[in-house]
Amino acid sequence: MSRQAAAPSASPEVVTLGETMVLLMAEQSGPLREATSFRRLVGGAESNVAAGLCRLGHAAGWISRVGNDDFGRVILHRLRGEGVDLAHAVVDAEAPTGVMIRERRELGAIEVLYYRRGSAASRLGAADVPERYVAGAQHLYLTGITPALSASCRQASFHAAEVARGAGVPVVFDPNMRRKLWSDGEARPVMRDLAAQSDVVLPGVAEAELITGEPDPLLAAQALLALGPRLVVLKLGEQGALAVGAGGEVVQVPAAPLQRVVDPVGAGDAFAAGFLAATLDGEALAEALDLAARCAAHVMSAHGDMENLPYRHELEATRSDPRDVRR
């Protein structure tokens, strides 16, 4: 048996769908095998973007499934507290909420363990996509994580994109490659098809190369544009971001100043939230990229991803001297 987490509501500005899990983050720095205590958080790319938009003053909704368990209730409670619309989040009594366990490191790659096989979110399907809800939004945000979870999740992603396109709702797609879910060969054709159905694509450099085979960022962006979107925004890490439009427009902005990267996880989600917020505000492309870069820097300045998503007033700190102290 499944049930809706809340009563139906009007469509928010941005609708997204995908998996959110309980995140157990190690309290000690170092390899996961040495961790003895963990902090319980909530994590998921799409819900991070939804929460980030809410903190920036916009309305966002999240479509998904969680288990009828305490971890599922933790997720719903947290997202509801962030202001995310949960009218189409389903509580699934027949499958558990997924869990991920992440180590804390100051040097080297961060290891993440996932316990998500057979999770409630992996049972998301096309029937869970409310067509009127998607069609009434101003943007649909998708990632490459959802179609990697299961065949039904893939169907849900493509169905949502089809509904949005049919209603004239722009589709924003972040490839968000997860190699623990699928191989490059499995991901490439699916991501190409999703990019072809999108209006805006937000890849990292490696993801753009994966999809197009082009190692050069500008050539990769142009190859992505040839698939059909009107805008490609490449996240260049320390080099900032590069946007290339179908009309030949090229805009590049530097990364926001950051003394030290404390935790890179969640930066891409914050970037997407900032970019969407600025777009909804009617900002020019350069200003949208700048806001996105500052949101990403804010998240990277501390541990955790959703916890450090910025509010509007906090973004001013990224414009000032990082040594300033507010007393």
- Strand-pairing partners, residue 90, are 4, 65
- Tokens for 299, please give them: 């998240």
Q: Has 174 been annotated as catalytic?
A: no
The strand pair at 2-4 and 89-92 is best described as antiparallel
- Tokens for 304, please give them: 């955790």
Distance CA 20, CA 180 (A): 16
- Strand-pairing partners, residue 289, are none
* Residue 110 near residue 303 (C-beta atoms within 8 A): no
Give the dihedral sign, CA 287/290/296/302: negative
Distance CA 264, CA 6 (A): 33
Per-position DSSP letters for 259-323, written without gaps between them: S--S--TTHHHHHHHHHHHHHHTT--HHHHHHHHHHHHHHHHTSS-SSTTPPPHHHHGGGGS-TT
Distances (CA, A) of 83 to 21, 42, 48, 56, 62: 18, 15, 12, 11, 11
Indicate which residue of 92, 174, 263, 269 is catalytic. Answer: 269
Provide the 10 A C-beta neighbour count for residue 231. 23
- Strand-pairing partners, residue 41, are 23
Contacts of residue 1, Cβ cutoff 8 Å, sequence gap at least 6? 93, 94
- Tokens for 287, please give them: 């200003």
Active-site amino acid positions: 269
